[in-house]
Structure 1
Amino acid sequence: MSRRAGYEESWDLTYLVEQLRELVGRDLRLQPELASELEDTLDSLVLRNQRLRGLQRMVQAEREADDLSILRHALEDMDRELLERLPVLLDRLRAALP
């Protein structure tokens, strides 16, 4: 992605998502509340990915700086939220392992 977008994906977030991927692939027995939290987090990750792809397309199309800024800020906000939520969720999922 072009540096003009002013957005760099967080390596910390990437690391946490990889940990989540490993746990989700295991045989988890989740309480309904934890399953709902996991589903909400996965939905957020899908939305984040869609926004990131949209930002990439906008950069390639050389869209207006204001448009890029709005999407970049939305991604940064989402990343901050996920960086807060994921460690707690990972701990709860690890505790649910048989």
Structure 2
Amino acid sequence: MPRRAGYEESWELTYRVEQLRELVGQELRLDDALAEDLETTLVRLVLRNQRLRGLQRMVSAEREPEDLAMFRAALEDLDRQLLQDLPGLLERLRATVL
């Protein structure tokens, strides 16, 4: 059953990223701190995507279960961090929509 929680987190992350994409497509008034937070989050999302692709390649290459578990744990940790930070960032971005 632990994978079920991962799917729920994945759906929530996908939902939040879609909200972010929609906001970034609008005209925003960003102060320096918000612009930096947005850039940091976007870099973390790219890193997450790279880790996910790496995990998929490792699964296809039939890597050792221990290696997969370590890589999956790092990805899940990044997902938790993003899920914790994205709601606040989205709220701050919504406040800047012109």
Deviations, residues 50-80 of structure 1 (Å, cap 9, x unaligned): 0000000000000011110111000110000
What count of residue pairs does the alignment treat as equivalent?
93
Regions of 4+ moved over 2 Å: 6-9
Alignment-derived partner of residue 3 in structure 1: none
Unaligned runs of 5+ in 2: none
CA RMSD of aligned residues (A): 1.2
Q: CA deviation at 1:29?
A: 1.3
Alignment-derived partner of residue 73 in structure 2: 73
Structure 1 letter corresponding to 2:18: E
Distance 2:75 2:21 in 1: 20
Deviations, residues 18-73 of structure 1 (Å, cap 9, x unaligned): 00000001111100000000000000000000000000000000001111011100
Alignment-derived partner of residue 16 in structure 2: 16
Q: What TM-score results when the alignment is normalised by the length of structure 2?
A: 0.91
Distance 1:70 1:89 in 2: 29
Distance 2:89 2:71 in 1: 26
Q: What secondary structure does 1:13 align onto?
A: helix
Alignment-derived partner of residue 34 in structure 1: 34
Unaligned runs of 5+ in 1: 1-5
